Amino acid sequence: MAGSRKPGQVGCSDEPRDLDDGTMVRELSPQPGPMGMDYGYTCASSRPSSLTQQVLLSPVFRETVQITDDMTAPMAWDSYWRTAYDRADRVLQAQADKLLKRGNITRLEFDELVKARNTLVREFREPLSPFGKQYSEILKPITRLPQPSELLNKKGSVEAVLESVGKTRTTVNRLSMAFRVAGPALLVLDITVTTLVVMKAPPEQRGRVSATEYTGLGFGLAGGVGGAWAGCVTLAALGSPSLVLPIVGEVTEGALCAVGGILGGLGVGWVGRETGKVAGEAVYDFVTTFRWE
């Protein structure tokens, strides 16, 4: 008798498979595999849906990610330069420690170490964002970097100066660490969310949505940079109208700058993002509808 099968689609079956060979089972049974997970696709079930169909974006979640990223992304840039500066200072401190251990330090060696420290401050401040430069200027103005003789008079001894010549502020390092971790993570998440929004748009609207969302992303980041600087200057001025000459103390003024930078980055970043969306959509409409006469 010729072989036969139940009528239906070829290569796809909801029937259990015969696994007699090599097992104790003597009847039809499904293929073994992890419990609770189905890797076999049947005719009744479709292939896994795309990523855009599996992810449901809450408007609140989306806005939170976008607004927060506008503030943390530019500050993360400053955090990386802070890390580089901290490592360079550690090398300088190691040199100072060797001189202290040796016990005899020439005036030339002392002067060169202090000057090297001031040079590091100047060089690593150049690539910072406007907020980073303003914040650093409040804590340590470039025009008022202590010279070797000033430090010697202030500390009282060569040993006291060299023990801290390469040390950085712990509070600033901790703040820098927070933004260095959060910034890149939020930026990646923001780009991912923006991409999902574009992918979920109807095919005929995908071009307009892409122009709107990605332009908004760019404007939001730019607004975060400007807003962080503006917020820093505004709140720091409440503590000291001269900014770089603290009236109530550089620590208080620096804290006001940091808080103002966060608030300014959030607020102006959001405005920039919304403005960018409007601009992106307008440009897209103009480009796609413009006709040469």
Q: Number of structural domains, the chain?
A: 1
Classify residue 48: in a domain, yes or no: no
227 band by pLDDT with thresholds 50, 70 and 90: very high
pLDDT of residue 11: 55
What value does the mean pLDDT take over residues 267-283? Answer: 92
**Which residues form the domain of 215?**
58-289
Instruction: Tell me the pLDDT of the chain averaged across its residues.
Output: 80
Distance (Å, whole) CA 137 – CA 151: 19
Note the pLDDT tens digit of each residue in 92-101.
Answer: 999 889 888 8
pLDDT of residue 2: 55
Distance (Å, whole) CA 79 – CA 230: 19
Classify residue 170: in a domain, yes or no: yes
pLDDT of residue 41: 47
Classify residue 244: in a domain, yes or no: yes
Note the pLDDT tens digit of each residue in 159-216.
Answer: 888 888 888 888 888 888 888 888 888 888 888 888 888 888 888 899 999 999 999 9
Classify residue 16: in a domain, yes or no: no
Classify residue 8: in a domain, yes or no: no
For the cut 70, the answer to whether the pLDDT of residue 273 exceeds it is: yes
Classify residue 43: in a domain, yes or no: no
Alpha helix (H) residue ranges in the chain: 51-54, 59-102, 107-125, 130-139, 148-155, 158-162, 170-200, 206-239, 250-289
140 band by pLDDT with thresholds 50, 70 and 90: confident
Distance (Å, whole) CA 264 – CA 270: 10
pLDDT of residue 72: 87
pLDDT of residue 198: 87
Classify residue 228: in a domain, yes or no: yes
pLDDT of residue 183: 86
Q: Does the model's pTM come out above 0.95?
A: no
CA atoms within 13 A on the CB side of 20: 4
What value does the mean pLDDT take over residues 21-42? Answer: 54
Classify residue 156: in a domain, yes or no: yes
